[in-house]
Amino acid sequence: MLTQALLVDDSRSVLKFLQRHIEAEGLVEATTFLDPLEALACARDRVFDLVLVDYEMPHMDGISFIRAFRTLPGGADTPIAMITSWQTDDVKMEALQAGATDFLPKQAKSLEMKVRLRNLVRLGAAVRKQNDRAADLASAVAAATEKLGEREEEIILRLALAVEFRDNDTGEHTLRVARYSRIIAEQLGLPARLCRDIYLAAPLHDVGKVAISDNILLKPGKLTDEEMAVIRTHATIGKKILADSTCELIQLGAQIAAGHHERWDGAGYPSGLKGDEIPIAARVVAVADVFDALTTRRPYKEPMPLDMARNYLVENRGRQFDPACVEAFLSRWDEVVGIASGQQATPYQKIEAPLAANIEKAEESGPVEAVPAS
């Protein structure tokens, strides 16, 4: 591609002279304007690699033109030479401060003009090459980063789904807990990125259940105290599975797995953490997880009516739950009811789609054996 030069001068003869010289070696295509305002309008839509602009012109002088050009997208690095004749050093200094790269004397001898123009053309081509390379690299990095993020999310969701299928009859619990958690995180005013990450990491809360033996995890009916103690190890095991990852999302998953059975009053497990000692993501998921467990049908219990589950949260705020998390959850009660009754729209459809497909498959093949709540 030829180097694109923008030439601006109110003298037709000067424009012709410049164009002839700059296009002489066949490396440059020049676009010429007598009016600087028209030239600027054109430069808003087109990328130029090089600009030559006169100083004295009607409507706008060369310095104002350079200043305006520098603000255009891609205009910051473009070499700009101002064509001068009698201008003083003060004017030249002002032009430099406005962003001029060089000056071209109007009455230059043709050899000098030839050399100066050739150097400017080379500079323009080099800047364009560098900018093109930087843009290519930036878009390659952005694409790779996005792909990596998508992979992380998919792996996390598939891992959570594996646990969910073992522990329950469908993957719907995972999705609902994720959605409730996002509502709470958003209402707490947590940063948007953290809300998204809590939504994505919440499904990992019970990942430690993969290590619980079937005869306990899938036992119908009441668990003995010893069996309950084994079930409770899922929090610590989940933390072990996810700990020390360099992936922030998995680190958050580790916090959630370890802390989602802690209680605000310190009577929870596995560490008996209290209040703010419990990571915020775990406090959020604790409310979401319990609410969903209460309101879901299990083989050994009927679902608790939503209003009754709501009362349970209210009665236990400041005891089992962070009161702010309960408050946040209840402040979007209509949405909660929508999710609980399976009518909620899915804003993260791209992420949820694989889950939904797997849930459908699972439903086709019939329910898996049911389990007691932990």
Please say which residue, 81 or 273, places its beta carbon nearer to Fe ion. 273
**Alpha-carbon distance 82 to 8, whole Å?**
10
CB of 252 to Fe ion, least distance (A): 16
Q: Is residue 50 within a helix (H) or strand (E), and if so which, with residue range?
A: strand 50-54
DSSP string, 153-219: HHHHHHHHHHHHHHHSSSSHHHHHHHHHHHHHHHHTT--HHHHHHHHHHGGGGGGGGGGS-HHHHT-
Residue 371 C-beta: closest distance to Fe ion, Å: 12
Contact (CB, 8 A) for 245 and 190: no
Instruction: Tokens for 244, please give them.
Output: 């020390």
Site string for Fe ion, 280-309 (x = CB under 5 A): ------------------------------
Question: SS3 of 64, please?
Answer: helix
| Interface pick for Fe ion out of 49, 206, 322, 352 (rule CB under 5 A) | 206
Window 21 to 60, contacts with Fe ion (CB under 5 A): none
User: Which residues from 84-103 bind Fe ion, rule CB under 5 A?
Assistant: none
The residue among 352, 362, 341 whose CA lies nearest residue 175 is: 352
**Candidate ranges 28-36, 199-207, 224-232, 335-343; the one touching Fe ion (CB under 5 A):** 199-207
Sign (positive/negative) of CA torsion 92, 93, 97, 102?
A: positive
Q: State the maximum Cα–Cα separation within the chain, in Å, rounded to a whole number.
A: 101
| From 74-82, 133-141, 155-163, 366-374, span contacting Fe ion (CB under 5 A) | 366-374
In the complex with Fe ion, the residue whose CB is nearer, 206 or 292, is 206
The residue at minimum Cβ distance from Fe ion is: 206
- Least Å from the CB of residue 296 to Fe ion: 14
Which H or E run includes 368? none
Please say which residue, 30 or 157, places its beta carbon nearer to Fe ion. Answer: 157
Which lies closer to Fe ion via its Cβ, residue 104 or residue 163?
Answer: 163
Question: Counting contacts by CB under 5 A, is residue 164 touching Fe ion?
Answer: no
- Residue type, position 301, single letter: K
Size of the site for Fe ion (CB under 5 A): 2
Contacting residues toward Fe ion, per CB under 5 A: 206, 374
